[in-house]
Amino acid sequence: MTPYKLILSGCAAVLLVAGAPAHAHVGLEKAETERGKSYKAVFKIPHGCDGSPTHTVRVEIPEGFIGVKPMPKAGWTIKTARGPYAQSYGFYHGPLSEGVKQIEWSGGELSDDYYDEFVASGFIAREITDKALYFKVVQVCAKGELAWSEVPADGVDAHDLKAPAAVLKIAAGSGDGDGHAHGHGDAKSSGGKVTVGSLAVEGAWSRATPDGAKVGAGYLTIRNTGTAADTLVSVETPVAGRGEIHDMTMTDGVMRMRRLAEGLEIPAGGSVELKPGGMHLMLMELKQPLVEGGSVPVKLIFKSGAVADVTLSVRGLGAQGDDGGHSHH
Ligand SMILES: [Cu+2]
């Protein structure tokens, strides 16, 4: 297949003419990402349709790219079409089962001599198993249109295609699926202690990280004054790509960390202390170093739906946790 050139002749007769000259393809600025991450899709439109200016750009959102929002663009009108997803996906604050499936920017005038970009942001669902997502893009011009819609069959190199869809490669990454349903409780904070329902979080701190470090840790104590157990299921923070709940164990004299995939249970009437050498919050893919004297906002999400917004105060590099901040009774 080659890009179709639509020629409107006379009243309504439409003629399809194959064989337009080879063109630079519509592509994505960042062509690879990971599951379980937000992704900004920047579509690069390199030219018009065989000399004719582009006035509409229409993008099909592939299954698995969820929570999608188009970026407004001066001089262009946005239209979106929403619909159900093939399945429900874990999203920040609860499962998501529908959303934007198509975006259309129209009413613009992009000369064939110019280059422009169209942007949509969203999230790559953790649940997908695809190695690539294909975005079919249609460019409608004053005269004719180009349909970038070819998806390579297994084993076919995308370079052999005449009008390939924009491709986003999905690296293995962090897609180990914890799509929990999250709800919000009413959290109260007072003097370093945060209570939400029958849960209380206190003594929250972190340790400064050396320049270039990719991970940080968080320590705190969670008390459950209720009559039912609850489980800390996930951790979110703006300073890191993702948060995990870890345990540390000594095996044959070697300290090992492991992710608590099922979360961390806080027994009814009991408490759990996260401290150096034991259980801890792990902040992965740090976006900035943690600086002594600073603070790190962290969202603790529990199975019951309770959400505690906690602040970790950052101590020095060598801090071991015995220098205050804990309340032992
Ligand atoms: Cu860890």
d(CA 132, CA 72): 26
For residue 158, what pLDDT is reported?
Answer: 60
Q: Does one domain contain both 152 and 9?
A: yes
Q: Does one domain contain both 265 and 308?
A: yes
Residue 235 CA, ligand 1 centroid: distance in Å: 13
- Please state, for a pLDDT cut of 90, what percent of the chain lies above it: 55
d(CA 137, CA 120): 13
Residue 65 CA, ligand 1 centroid: distance in Å: 29
* Long-range pairs, 261-264, Cβ under 8 A, ≥24: 261/176, 261/178, 262/231, 263/231, 263/232, 263/233, 263/234, 263/303, 264/231, 264/232
Q: Does one domain contain both 35 and 138?
A: yes
Q: Does one domain contain both 221 and 309?
A: yes
Residue 276 CA, ligand 1 centroid: distance in Å: 10
Q: Does one domain contain both 304 and 165?
A: no
d(CA 279, CA 274): 5
- Considering the domain boundaries, does residue 320 fall inside one? no
Q: Does one domain contain both 114 and 243?
A: no
Give the domain CATH number at 291: 2.60.40.1890
Residue 277 CA, ligand 1 centroid: distance in Å: 10
Residue 285 CA, ligand 1 centroid: distance in Å: 12
- Considering the domain boundaries, does residue 84 fall inside one? yes
**Nearest residue to 321 (alpha-carbon basis) of 219, 213, 211:** 219
For residue 177, what pLDDT is reported?
Answer: 36
- Considering the domain boundaries, does residue 323 fall inside one? no
For residue 188, what pLDDT is reported?
Answer: 54
Q: Tell whether the model's pLDDT for residue 236 goes beyond 90.
A: yes
**Nearest residue to 296 (alpha-carbon basis) of 208, 221, 223:** 208
Q: Does one domain contain both 200 and 255?
A: yes
Backbone angles phi, psi at 262, to 5 degrees: -85, 0
Residue 286 CA, ligand 1 centroid: distance in Å: 13
Amino acid at residue number 26 = V
d(CA 132, CA 39): 14
Give the domain CATH number at 161: 2.60.40.2230
Q: Does one domain contain both 91 and 239?
A: no
Strands 187-190 and 199-207: unpaired
The tally of domains found in the chain comes to 2
Q: Does one domain contain both 156 and 284?
A: no
Q: Does one domain contain both 234 and 131?
A: no
Residue 218 CA, ligand 1 centroid: distance in Å: 9
Radius of gyration for the chain, computed over Cα atoms and rounded to the nearest angstrom: 25
Residue 242 CA, ligand 1 centroid: distance in Å: 12
Residues of the domain holding 112: 5-171
pTM of the model: 0.49
Confidence of residue 152 (pLDDT cuts 50, 70, 90): confident
Residue 251 CA, ligand 1 centroid: distance in Å: 15
d(CA 138, CA 57): 6
Identify residues whose C-beta is under 5 A from ligand 1, the ion. 246, 257, 282
Residue 172 CA, ligand 1 centroid: distance in Å: 20
Q: Does one domain contain both 229 and 131?
A: no
